[in-house]
Amino acid sequence: MLTCLALCFHHKRFISRRKRFCFQSGLNVLIGPNGSGKSSLLKAIHRCKDCDRQEGAPTTYHYFNSEEMNPHKTHRYFKGFAGSVIRARSLFSSHGETLRDVLKSYRPQRGDCFLLDEPEVGHDLSWILKIRRGLDELARSGCQVIVASHHPVFWAKASVIELKRGYLQRSCKLMHRVTACQLPRKQKTAK
């Protein structure tokens, strides 16, 4: 399980001018405006050999983004019989359905770390809630989950890591203003 990550020289320039990030067990959510480095941080965790990872135990990292869930590129990532099923289904499924199938195909081990870059992209609220329940299930099974997300569904009961100071407070104020507005009434259709 990843406890801390000290960024290398390259990543320090692109990620919110912070040098070190610490993570909790369970669900961690990276938040910040576009361009603050959420995706870059996930990629640094997953791939960068120069960033210094501190792990409580040896950790296997599983990285997912919308590019990997693209039905035309799944052959690069998913092998064997399960991979064949996922590739075939992804041709007729949405990004969210493909993500669900991929997560279901994994046999997570205690201590694995799942990195998800904006899993809410292209989904309605019911799918986002299903994804959140799946991530909570992974966390309960002893896996660590690190999500980069703009969606408040992922923020609740998670360890929230702000890449830009004050972002959470500003976002909550904005959500309060939006939800305080009256929703338009459903219009009657002419017969």
Q: What is the pLDDT of residue 54?
A: 94
In a domain, 187, yes or no: no
The CATH number of the domain where 55 resides is what?
3.40.50.300
Determine the Cα–Cα distance for residues 112 and 19; give it in Å rounded to an integer.
24
Is residue 156 pLDDT above 70, yes or no? yes
In a domain, 103, yes or no: no
Is residue 89 pLDDT above 80, yes or no? no
Q: What is the pLDDT of residue 120?
A: 83
In a domain, 131, yes or no: yes
Is residue 78 pLDDT above 70, yes or no? no
List C-alpha distances in Å: 11 to 35, 40, 52, 94, 188: 13, 8, 11, 32, 54
In a domain, 17, yes or no: yes
The answer to whether the CB of 11 falls within 8 A of the CB of 142 is no
Position with higher pLDDT, 175 vs 118: 118
Range scoring the smallest mean pLDDT among 8-12, 130-134, 163-167:
163-167
Position with higher pLDDT, 166 vs 23: 23
- Percent above pLDDT 70 for the chain: 74
Q: How many domains does the chain have?
A: 1
In a domain, 164, yes or no: yes
Of 29-38, 81-90, 175-184, where does the model show the most confidence? 29-38
Q: How confident is the model at residue 136 (pLDDT cuts 50, 70, 90)?
A: very high
In a domain, 71, yes or no: no
pLDDT tens string 48-61: 999 999 998 889 99
In a domain, 90, yes or no: no
Domain that holds residue 31: 2-63+111-175
- Percent above pLDDT 90 for the chain: 32
Q: What Rg value do the Cα atoms of the chain yield, rounded?
A: 18
In a domain, 78, yes or no: no
Q: What is the pLDDT of residue 28?
A: 95
Q: What is the pLDDT of residue 167?
A: 66
Determine the Cα–Cα distance for residues 143 and 6; give it in Å rounded to an integer.
21
* Total-model pTM: 0.82
Burial 48-71 (b: 16+ CB within 10 A, else e): beebebeeeeebebbbbbeebbeb
Determine the Cα–Cα distance for residues 64 and 108; give it in Å rounded to an integer.
14
